[in-house]
Amino acid sequence: MLKYFLIMSLTFFPFVLIAQQNQRFVGSWMGKLNVGAIELRLGINLKTDSTGLIHTTLDSPDQNAYGLKTDSTNINGNIVTIEAKNMMARFVGTLLAGDSAINGTWSQGGKIFDLNLKKLQRPIIINRPQEPKQPFPYKSEEVKFTNIKANIELAGTLTLPQGEGPFPAVVLVTGSGPQNRDETLMGHKPFLVISDFLTRHGIAVLRYDDRGIGKSKGSFSLATSFDFADDAEAGFMWLKQQPLIDKNRTGIAGHSEGGLIAPIVASRNKNVDFIILIAGTGVSGEDIILAQAQLIGLKSGGSPEALKENDLFSRKLYSAIKKEPNNDKAIPELTKIYEEGIDNSKFLDDKVKVLQKKQMNSLLLQITSPWFRTFLQLDPKPYLLKTKCQVLAMNGTKDLQVPCDLNLNAIDKYLKLAGNKHYKILKIDGVNHLFQHCEKGIPAEYSAIEETFAPEALNAMSDFILHLKK
């Protein structure tokens, strides 16, 4: 459910000869991109080399991305234009009086955002106190395993506690969107923190790059939740066969969409000894998407009337998607619904309506993708009803992306109907979708919070695994 603005790492060779007055632009600048409910910081660094050539690099601190090179930089008087063509990105800004601010716009993938930059006195430093630093008091090794069904090789990291074993073990499964083995997002590495904590407490952990991401093979863009479930199951079966692993205490822990994937695997593979649902879903994908839009919108200051209009608009789009599985036939109807929705909106001004229509093709591609079509209609109910292994389902009371009560109540209901006698439902007070203690729970807070993962949630996972019923 996590959808966030991506800045891809690209390499180019920029060069622009600038006059002496253009030295006013040289330095590090920082601003914020408001992408829906998410705020992302974007840094622009302008430097000259010994020959006088200017070089521009980009920083996305909230995504742990630094020094991303651009394609070209042009300075004309007080206006700077920076392009990264393969990113489909462009910044145009005007240097203001005093030379301490640049106001402009950032465009990427057909979308345009205001981006106002302030000059920094020093490079920005993100404090993430929970991130572990080497040397680790346990073994950490690069590993590979194969999803035979898809014939792809996946890469990850296995951490093993010190000692002779056998150790209880768990596979970590990421949430939606392209994720690496640390589930790096918004400047945080939740899976690195979780694996470090669990391994220090005597639990072996496998975390891996999503297919097509990092060192894993395959195509991410063509995959659905069921494909990701096959990947998770392949990782689980590989882990269970490794030396030093307790064959009777091996399971799967999934965050967000990963918390949907875990019961899919457990419902069909009786070798799964336990699952942990970390903000896992208990209702359909459509219900999740509609609920999070309302909750995040309200907490972000949206008007109830505008959100109601958006809800009705979204429901029409989703109904059309479900009705017509063929994209060639669906796109014309979706285009009609989209254009009518924008034209008839009571809450969008003419400028915003023009921008929304420019973004239409990009949006339609997203909502007709194989993943979105599948997730929209995917209901966890039939899988939870077949889940007989031990379960820990936990969520934060301020989670606005997978709302706590809505989903935990459904999970509780279905596991009870399944006759599962060994499950625990846990609400963690005051934490958001990433399990950070927070104020509102909106995604815009994620990157600004220093905490990566609440200690009480880490302890709950460790205690659950170490005290599994035999």
Q: For 305-372, where are the E strands, in sequence order?
A: none
In this prediction, residue 125 carries a pLDDT of: 73
Which is nearest to 11 in space by CA: 106, 84, 61, 75? 84
Residues 421, 422, 424, CA angle at the centre, nearest 5°?
Answer: 115
| Residue 403 contacts residue 287 (beta carbons within 8 Å) | no
Phi, psi of 333 (to 5 degrees): -70, -40
Ordered mean pLDDT values, 10 residues apiece, the chain (470 residues): 32 33 80 80 81 76 79 84 83 88 87 89 82 96 98 98 96 95 92 98 98 96 96 98 97 98 98 98 96 92 93 96 96 95 90 83 90 97 98 98 98 98 98 97 89 98 95
In this prediction, residue 141 carries a pLDDT of: 97
DSSP annotation of 162 reads S
Phi, psi of 92 (to 5 degrees): -125, 120
**Which residues have CB under 8 Å from 354's CB, separation 6+?**
none
Q: Please, what are the domains in the chain?
A: 20-119 (2.40.128.20), 139-283+379-466 (3.40.50.1820), 286-376 (no CATH)
In this prediction, residue 1 carries a pLDDT of: 40
- Rounded to two decimals, what is the model's pTM? 0.83
Residue with tokens 């599948």: 374
Cα distances (Å, whole numbers) of residue 423 to 236, 268, 273, 392, 420? 20, 18, 12, 6, 7
- The number of CA neighbours under 13 Å toward the Cβ of 470 is 6
Instruction: Note the residue count of the chain.
Output: 470
In this prediction, residue 49 carries a pLDDT of: 63
| Residue 141 contacts residue 242 (beta carbons within 8 Å) | no
Residue with tokens 């269970």: 240
Query: Strand 111-119 to strand 139-147: parallel, antiparallel, or no bridges (unpaired)?
Result: unpaired
Q: For 77-138, where are the E strands, in sequence order?
A: 79-84, 89-95, 101-108, 111-119
Give the CA radius of gyration of the chain.
24
Amino acid residing at 65: A
In this prediction, residue 15 carries a pLDDT of: 30
In this prediction, residue 21 carries a pLDDT of: 52
